[in-house]
């Protein structure tokens, strides 16, 4: 009987919360809403120590915070959500910690792709962005399955950056752009000697690598540049995340640790975005 009553109270609370969010979001939607919000999920380990949790439970609490933030962003009308889940630099942590995090990551990826998961209920497509060959075979396979299973979803896009740093992304994009340009030159020359580009200014311009070439080969090319980057735990640095894409976005650093992030933080940053919208829009035009 207690369990039944508890479920009823839980459903009632969720219904009331959902109604309140709808009211708040309907007001926010009168103004501009960001197309893309990115999150640096900082503070899981500190949260675990703060709450005296056993290893891994801080990251589990962080996963719950991610699910809530996904739901809020979707209800608000944000089309693209990106999260910084695991940096290449994180592989330098203690081997046992890396192994534990990889196991947890595989578990949560599989959880995300279940038929009844929030991702499938809301129609969110998942992309994993980064140097995926650095992941363990099991985690990489889980990531690939998730991308295939959600490929038919089209309501929103969740990009999960794993084995990722922005410098690695930029180097990768430049390398691919150069290879593509050399292939183009060889093809135009029918496999003969390479054109002596220095003799022809027009050819030099034609065969230069430009910003659009690099842009096209970035891991994050499936998304527009972020409008907002939110980093929890109060740290005001990007930590090698979306350096190429963040030239004109709004940065927000709430003091809350990632598992503590909530609706109020999202509302505050949306209001700040709307207050600065015209200025940000003008800056993007000038770039």
Q: Note the pLDDT of residue 196.
A: 53
36: exposed, middle or buried (Cβ count in 10 Å: 0-12, 13-18, 19+): buried
Give me the pLDDT at residue 280, please.
80
Cα torsion angle, 69, 238, 97, 99, sign: positive
> What confidence score (pLDDT) does residue 188 get?
75
Question: Helices then strands (H, E): number in the chain?
Answer: 11, 6
Residue 18 in this model has a pLDDT that exceeds 90 = no
Q: For residue 261, what are the CA distances in angstroms to 22, 51, 68, 184?
A: 19, 15, 9, 48
Q: 25-35 pLDDT, tens per residue?
A: 999 999 999 99
The candidate with the shortest Cα–Cα distance to 212, out of 244, 186, 248, is 244
φ, ψ for residue 202, nearest 5 deg: -60, -45
Cβ atoms 123, 156 nearer than 8 A: yes
Taking the C-alpha atoms of residue 213 and residue 210, their distance in angstroms, rounded to an integer, is: 5
Query: pTM of the prediction?
Result: 0.89
- Beta carbons within 10 angstroms of residue 118's beta carbon: 16
CB atoms within 10 A of CB 237: 11
Query: Environment class of residue 23 by beta-carbon count within 10 Å: exposed (0-12), middle (13-18) or buried (19+)?
Result: exposed
Distance CA 237, CA 235 (A): 6
Of 162, 166, 36, 50, the residue nearest 108 (C-alpha): 162
- Tens-place pLDDT, residues 41-78: 999 999 999 999 887 899 999 999 999 999 999 999 99
Residue 108 token pair: 């949560």
**What is the rounded average pLDDT of the residues 165-173?**
97
pLDDT the model gives residue 201: 46
Could you give the percent of the chain with pLDDT greater than 90? 75
Q: How many CA atoms lie within 13 A of 63 on its CB side?
A: 18
Instruction: Point out which residues pair with 128 in neighbouring strands.
Output: 160
What span, in angstroms and rounded, lies between the C-alpha atoms of 164 and 132? 8
Pick from 144, 42, 123: which is nearest to 85 by CA?
A: 42
Higher pLDDT, 10 or 17: 17
Q: Is the pLDDT of residue 9 over 80?
A: no
Confidence of residue 15 (pLDDT cuts 50, 70, 90): confident
> Residue 62 in contact with residue 47, Cβ under 8 Å?
yes
- How far, in Å, CA of 51 to CA of 216, rounded? 44
Q: Which residues form the catalytic set? A: 42
Q: How far is Cα 190 from Cα 183, in angstroms, rounded to an integer?
A: 11
List C-alpha distances in Å: 15 to 18, 22, 117, 268.
5, 11, 19, 23
Of the candidates 171, 139, 162, the one whose C-alpha atom is nearest the C-alpha of residue 87 is 162
Average pLDDT over residues 246-252: 93
* Res. 121: pLDDT tops 70: yes
């Amino acid at each position: 009987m207690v369990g039944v009553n508890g479920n009823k109270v839980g459903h009632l609370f969720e219904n009331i919360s959902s109604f309140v969010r709808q009211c708040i979001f309907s007001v926010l939607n009168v103004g501009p809403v960001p197309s893309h919000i990115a999150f640096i999920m900082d503070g899981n380990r500190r949260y675990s120590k703060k709450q005296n949790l056993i290893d891994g439970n801080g990251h589990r609490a962080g996963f719950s915070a991610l699910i809530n933030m996904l739901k809020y962003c979707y209800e608000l009308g944000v089309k693209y959500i990106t999260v910084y889940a695991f940096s290449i630099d994180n592989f330098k942590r203690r081997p046992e910690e890396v192994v534990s995090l990889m196991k947890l990551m595989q578990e949560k990826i599989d959880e995300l792709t279940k038929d009844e998961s929030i991702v499938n209920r809301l129609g969110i497509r998942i992309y994993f962005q980064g140097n995926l060959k650095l992941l363990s075979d099991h985690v990489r396979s889980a990531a690939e399955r998730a991308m295939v299973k959600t490929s038919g979803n089209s309501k929103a896009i969740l990009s999960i950056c794993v084995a990722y740093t922005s410098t690695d992304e930029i180097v990768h994009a430049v390398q691919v752009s150069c290879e593509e340009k050399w292939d183009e030159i060889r093809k135009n020359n029918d496999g003969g000697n390479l054109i002596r580009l220095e003799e022809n200014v027009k050819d030099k311009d034609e065969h230069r690598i430009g910003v659009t070439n690099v842009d096209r080969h970035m891991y994050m090319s499936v998304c527009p540049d972020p409008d907002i980057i939110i980093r929890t735990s109060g740290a005001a640095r990007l930590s090698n995340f979306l350096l190429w894409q963040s030239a004109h976005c709004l940065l927000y650093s709430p003091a809350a640790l990632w598992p503590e992030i909530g609706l109020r933080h999202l509302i505050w940053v949306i209001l700040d975005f709307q207050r600065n919208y015209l200025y940000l829009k003008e800056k993007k035009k000038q770039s």
